[in-house]
């Protein structure tokens, strides 16, 4: 009998509310099979494999801890933003994997992390090690999969926040324009979810601007004037990735993946309103809570995120490698799991399709509302002690 192989799991990229639910799913999936030995956790993303910094997850987790882990935001194992593109680093990763007799490598992350899976598969595909990516990104911008783990919770947080911010705005009788700046570099998925905030008594967000459409300052001013004729307190949702022509000073810094570091669009838009219209304005930058507010997670998102982790273990046992796990949507709403070639996913971005954006380019469509509504369904409250949520610390 050949020696039983071990497995390793890592987390990478920006934190989300659901990435630890997926980790819990991988841990439960491995615990359930007798075909995998020890499950190691790779600390701080791929750098943990480069530097041989692993912890034994099989020994340190029990049911109680896994229940807490599912509701714990950000990355339990730590993260990194590190491009695995040096031959030397690839060799060191494979050396670590061989040293620990690893047969299965699971990596939970977004576009850049799928690039890591793609490179590892190409470099070590004949080593007998199987490489499986599991999606994770609030940006919801990975191709093939219907949606991404973490997106539903971000969408729920944004919609709830915009609803509560709108209530805050509506209490004064002075006309005002409030601009809510929301994450999303190239894709407007998170910003678009703000449309769920609309109720019978609140029209906020009155306007939605997405990076999928070119931004026109003239059009924006006309939109705001029209909205102010209909209501006293106008609320605008805008993606951080919008480029305002006269504010595009191109002075932003870039991260190690060459992405521009954005911010300040809310300020730019309120400056425009102040200058051309002159009413009271407020710019609100929704902070990192949109990716780590476990206190307001979507139950659908956490449950699916855990299940896709378990499904990844099944896929690996079935012999898959060089793949990313994907959600397949079924109607009435449910998801099943499949896996797709990593090379059709890594480094590609899924933007919002035309049918989800209104013809005017300043709103979403009913088709998008139908798409996003089931993803925010259900509340997944963490355990509270003394009034504060209890998370799993490492």
- By annotation, the residues acting in catalysis are 139
293 binds its own copies (CB under 8 A): yes
| Shortest distance, position 285 Cβ to its own copies, whole Å | 7
Count CB neighbours of 191 within 10 A: 30
- CA–CA separation, 70 vs 86, rounded Å? 34
Q: Does 387 bind its own copies (CB under 8 A)?
A: yes
- Give me the least distance between CB of 18 and its own copies, in Å please: 13
Closest CA to 139 of 66, 192, 84, 204: 192
Q: Which of 243, 277, 279, 289 binds its own copies (CB under 8 A)?
A: 289
For 191, the token pair is 């910003």
In the set 102, 134, 196, 302, which binds its own copies (CB under 8 A)?
A: 196
Instruction: By CB under 8 A, name the one of 22, 38, 47, 191 that touches its own copies.
Output: 47
Closest to its own copies by CB, 72 or 239: 72
- 52-81 residues in contact with its own copies (CB under 8 A) are 72-75, 78-81
287 CB-side CA count, 13 A: 2
The residue range among 124-132, 199-207, 246-254, 349-357 that interacts with its own copies, by the rule CB under 8 A, is 199-207
Q: Is the distance from CB of 351 to CB of 186 less than 8 angstroms?
A: yes
Kindly tell me which residue out of 142, 268, 284, 340 binds its own copies, with binding defined by CB under 8 A.
284
Cβ-contact 326, 145 below 8 angstroms: yes
Gap between the Cα atoms of 277 and 117, Å rounded: 50
Q: What are phi and psi of 296, to 5 degrees?
A: -130, 35
Task: Determine how β-strand 323-330 pairs with β-strand 130-135.
Answer: parallel
What minimum distance in Å lies between the beta carbon of 259 and its own copies? Answer: 16
**Distance between CA 117 and CA 138 in Å, rounded?**
19
Segment 158 to 177, residues that bind its own copies, using CB under 8 A: 159-161, 163-165, 167-168, 170-173
Distances (CA, A) of 350 to 11, 184, 225: 21, 12, 33
Give just the sign of the alpha carbon dihedral 22, 190, 261, 294: negative
The 127-156 contact track toward its own copies, x by CB under 8 A, reads -----------------------------x
Kindly list the residues in this chain that would bind its own copies in the complex (CB under 8 A). 15, 44, 47, 72-75, 78-81, 156, 159-161, 163-165, 167-168, 170-173, 196-197, 199-202, 284-289, 291-296, 298, 300, 373, 376-379, 381, 384, 386-389, 391, 393-394
């Amino acid at each position: 009998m050949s020696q039983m192989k071990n497995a390793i799991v890592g987390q990478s990229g920006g934190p989300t509310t659901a990435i630890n639910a997926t980790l819990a799913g991988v841990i439960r999936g491995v615990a359930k099979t007798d075909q995998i030995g020890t499950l190691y956790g790779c600390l701080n993303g791929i750098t943990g494999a480069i530097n041989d910094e692993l912890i034994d997850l099989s020994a340190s987790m029990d049911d109680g801890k896994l229940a807490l882990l599912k509701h714990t935001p950000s990355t339990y194992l730590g993260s990194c933003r590190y491009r695995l593109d040096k031959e030397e680093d690839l060799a060191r990763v494979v050396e670590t994997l061989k040293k620990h007799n690893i047969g299965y490598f699971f990596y939970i992350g977004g576009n850049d992390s799928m690039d890591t899976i793609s490179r590892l598969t190409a470099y070590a595909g004949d080593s007998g090690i199987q490489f499986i990516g599991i999606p994770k990104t609030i940006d919801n911008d990975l191709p093939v999969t219907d949606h991404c783990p973490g997106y539903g919770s971000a969408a729920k947080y944004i919609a709830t926040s915009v609803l509560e911010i709108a209530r805050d705005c509506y209490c004064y009788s002075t006309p005002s324009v409030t601009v809510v700046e929301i994450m999303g570099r190239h894709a407007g998925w998170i910003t678009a979810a703000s449309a769920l905030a609309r109720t019978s008594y609140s029209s906020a967000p009155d306007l939605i601007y997405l990076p999928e459409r070119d931004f026109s300052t003239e059009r924006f001013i006309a939109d705001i004037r029209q909205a102010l004729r209909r209501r006293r307190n106008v609320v605008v949702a805008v993606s951080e990735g919008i480029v305002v022509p006269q504010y595009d000073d191109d002075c932003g810094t870039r991260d190690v993946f060459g992405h521009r570091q954005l911010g300040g669009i809310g300020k730019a838009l309120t400056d425009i309103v102040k200058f051309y219209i002159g009413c009271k304005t407020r710019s609100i930058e929704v902070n990192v809570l949109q990716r780590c507010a476990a206190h307001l997670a979507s139950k659908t998102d956490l449950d699916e995120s855990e299940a896709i982790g378990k499904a990844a273990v099944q896929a690996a046992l079935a012999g898959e490698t060089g793949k990313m796990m994907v959600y397949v949507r079924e109607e009435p709403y449910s998801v099943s799991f499949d896996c797709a070639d990593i090379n059709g996913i890594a480094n590609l971005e899924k933007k919002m399709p035309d049918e989800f954006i209104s013809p005017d380019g300043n709103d979403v469509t009913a088709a998008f509302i139908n798409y996003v509504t089931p993803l925010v369904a259900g509340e997944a409250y963490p355990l509270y002690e003394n009034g504060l949520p209890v998370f799993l610390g490492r």
